[in-house]
A = this chain, B = another copy of it.
Amino acid sequence: MKHLLTITELHNEEILEILSEAQQFSEGKIWTPAKEQFVANLFFEPSTRTKFSFEVAEKKLGLQVLNFETQSSSVQKGETLYDTVKTLEAIGTNAVVIRHPQDHYFDELVDGISIPIINGGDGCGHHPTQCLLDLLTMQQEFGKFIGLNVVIVGDIRHSRVARSNADVLKRLGANVYFSGPEPWMDETMVNGNYVSMDEAVQFADVMMMLRIQHERHAFKMISSKQEYHQIFGLTIEREAQMKPKSIIMHPAPINRDVEIASSLVECSKSRIFKQMTNGVAVRQAVLKRALQLKKEVVLNG
């Protein structure tokens, strides 16, 4: 399987292999494909981190980069995603990175497209490279996942990314807890592991804050950002209660003084910008895996 569509489809061994490769890239390893390769980035939703992180990763690998701008493409003329990707394949693209607002957009692609598809995020569904960079950040910090206490804070119910992250962390051996407004919890998911923020900061190794989606209905239920911050946010007072070697993570973009106090964004426990740095190394590893696997398929085929 050459695509990277969801984190769920990866076995533990595959995940650990990607992390190992990514760690090497983060330490300066250089790898470039034997011959010129083209990668196209198709971002159908606004993105800074993910898009540029992929672009830097691609350029570090010496790949030729095609940046597909939705506004100036034939998507404006009603062309389907399948025909767009098939076109990119026809003109010599060796892999595509796609972010798209529709959940499981890739279901209509996988049968007919013969180049690797790397999912840069689909709707509120999956975001496998975000998950991998989160894992890399924890692994660098703690050297292991077994027994790690991770508290995920935010809208668990509507964030399948949070849910698939939680699943992966569990199968890697971590203890996963949840915090946030109760209407945002999912009982089958949480399964008794709900903690208040005041409890969470006492024992968490990792406080994994989710971004609040302003546009979501759930957010409108909150009386005010200040109140959210006081009850469910990582306040300056709560940070002071955290264990000495614990860390703070957030996928960004950050709502400062909502999920987390603005002054904590760059505090000594924060790994928020480290996560972004790791994102490049993870994407180098994922791209190398896609382009190499493709080569093998060609050799066998």
Hey, which bits of chain A sit against chain B, CB under 8 A?
36, 38, 40, 43, 46-49, 51-53, 55-56, 59-60, 64, 66-80, 83-84, 86-93, 112, 214, 252-256, 266, 273-274, 276-277, 279-280
Contacts and interface: CB of A to CB of B under 8 A. Distances in A.
A38 B59 CA distance: 9
Given A59-B64, A70-B72, A91-B52, A79 B277 contact: no
A43 to B, nearest CB: 6
Contacts of A52: 40, 66, 68, 87-88, 91, 93
23 contacts: A38-B56, A46-B73, A46-B74, A46-B75, A46-B76, A46-B77, A48-B68, A49-B74, A49-B91, A52-B66, A52-B93, A56-B64, A56-B93, A60-B92, A69-B69, A70-B72, A78-B214, A79-B252, A87-B273, A87-B276, A90-B274, A92-B280, A112-B266
Contacts of A70: 72
A76 B253 CA distance: 11
B48 A253 contact: no
B72 A51 contact: yes
A112 B265 CA distance: 12
B55 A87 contact: no
A277 B87 contact: no
Contact of A73 (B47, B64, B86, B255): B47
Stoichiometry, as copies per complex, reads: 3
Contacts of A36: 60
Contacts of A67: 67
Contacts of A56: 38, 64, 66, 91-93
A55 B66 contact: yes
Contacts of A43: 72
B69 A253 contact: no
Given A36-B60, A38-B59, A69-B72, A277 B48 contact: no
A86 B59 CA distance: 20
A210 to B, nearest CB: 14
B277 A83 contact: no
Contact of A91 (B66, B88, B277): B277
A55 B38 CA distance: 11
A253 B79 contact: yes
A49 B253 contact: no
B46 A90 contact: no
Nearest to A46: B76
